[in-house]
Structure 1
Amino acid sequence: MELRKCDNLFFLTEFKECFSLYDKKHKGKIEAKDLIIVMRCLGVSPTFIEVDRHLQISKIDKGGELDFSTFLTMMHQQIQQEDPRAEILEAMRMTDKQKKGYILSSELRAKLTGLGEKLTDKEGKGHKTHMPHVYERV
């Protein structure tokens, strides 16, 4: 089996397991109100507006239910619209106050060790040599 098929099978299994956890009535469906939770458990970050749009496109009201096939379609659409590379570049641009097209490794280290899930100083220093290649010139 080729690698791409293995990856797809892995994700499909993960999606089904998480979906099943929220299939409270064991009917192969989840409640629309749980959609955002299930999606976020699987690593995507939809907003409430995006979830409402997914439900509207599938003609499911907020009090309704959706099956696994519909859920897979919604997950595919959400994954396609999220672009982590663009989000990272935008964060870098926001850090580059002087608009030079790069940030100092010390600045990045300060951000990485001080925000979100904090990195240790050792983890932050591990990225130092790669910094000139991370941020594209704007």
Structure 2
Amino acid sequence: MVSGKPGGLSGKGSSPPRQPISPPSSFLFVVLQAKFLSQDQINEFKECFSLYDNNHKGKIKASDLITVMRCLGASPTPSEVDRHLLWHKIDRRAELDFSTFLNIMYKQMQQEDPQQEIRTAMAMIDRQKKGFIPVSELRAKLTKMGEKLSEEEVDDLLKEAKVGPNGIIKYEDFIRRITVPITNY
């Protein structure tokens, strides 16, 4: 025990010990946990994060970030992941800790609205603005643009669609069907 010295733990006239200041990411972790994310979400994120923590150091490779995020249901593009890493000043060859990962997931969740993203894309195909699009045109866009889907992936998506007799899809119904959250996986 140290006594009689400034900052000591005992003794008359000594000042109380200084409390360590948490780094910003730890502070942010607590704020996010308390205000914006449920304990169940945090537990789910931690479990998935731990699967990619190969060295058991509480960190994942930045190169695994997109995979971990997608495993948790987020849909970041590679450029979005690069922006997150740049914002946190993390090199793609580096690692990130759980509190940083949690911050990135929170930001990604805030900017994603899959229904609106799909609705915007469908509206671009729907030139007449009637709420319907031809299956053939949807298939062409899904297999040739953006993150291209395979024919099998498109077939799986279209199984969810109610295709009209003339090969037309009412896209609001389609959007609702394909963006329903998975309850048990």
Normalising by the residue count of structure 1, what TM-score does the alignment of the two structures yield? 0.70
Taking structure 1 as reference, are residues 133 and 60 closer, same or farther at Cα in structure 2, changes over 3 Å only?
closer
- Unpaired runs of 5+ residues, structure 1, are 126-130
Residue of structure 2 in register with 1:100 after alignment:
129
Q: Secondary structure at the match of 1:86?
A: helix
Q: Secondary structure at the match of 1:30?
A: strand
Q: Runs (4+) of structure 1 moved beyond 3 Å?
A: 131-135
Return the alpha-carbon distance in structure 2 between the equivalents of residues 12 and 27 of structure 1: 18
Taking structure 1 as reference, are residues 134 and 35 closer, same or farther at Cα in structure 2, changes over 3 Å only?
same
Return the alpha-carbon distance in structure 1 between the equivalents of residues 173 and 72 of structure 2: 26
For the aligned residues, what is the CA RMSD? 3.4
- Unpaired runs of 5+ residues, structure 2, are 1-34, 140-152, 163-169, 175-185
Greater C-alpha radius of gyration: 2
Shift of 1:116: 5.2
Taking structure 1 as reference, are residues 69 and 102 closer, same or farther at Cα in structure 2, changes over 3 Å only?
same
Normalising by the residue count of structure 2, what TM-score does the alignment of the two structures yield? 0.54
Identity of aligned residues (%): 53
Matched, 1:17 2:47: yes
Return the alpha-carbon distance in structure 2 between the equivalents of residues 132 and 29 of structure 1: 41
Taking structure 1 as reference, are residues 88 and 77 closer, same or farther at Cα in structure 2, changes over 3 Å only?
same
Q: Deviations over 1:36-71 (max 9, x none)?
A: 111111111212221111111111111211110000
Matched, 1:59 2:89: yes
Shift of 1:118: 3.6
Residue of structure 1 in register with 2:116 after alignment:
86
Taking structure 1 as reference, are residues 124 and 89 closer, same or farther at Cα in structure 2, changes over 3 Å only?
closer
Q: Secondary structure at the match of 1:45?
A: coil
Q: How many residues align?
A: 122
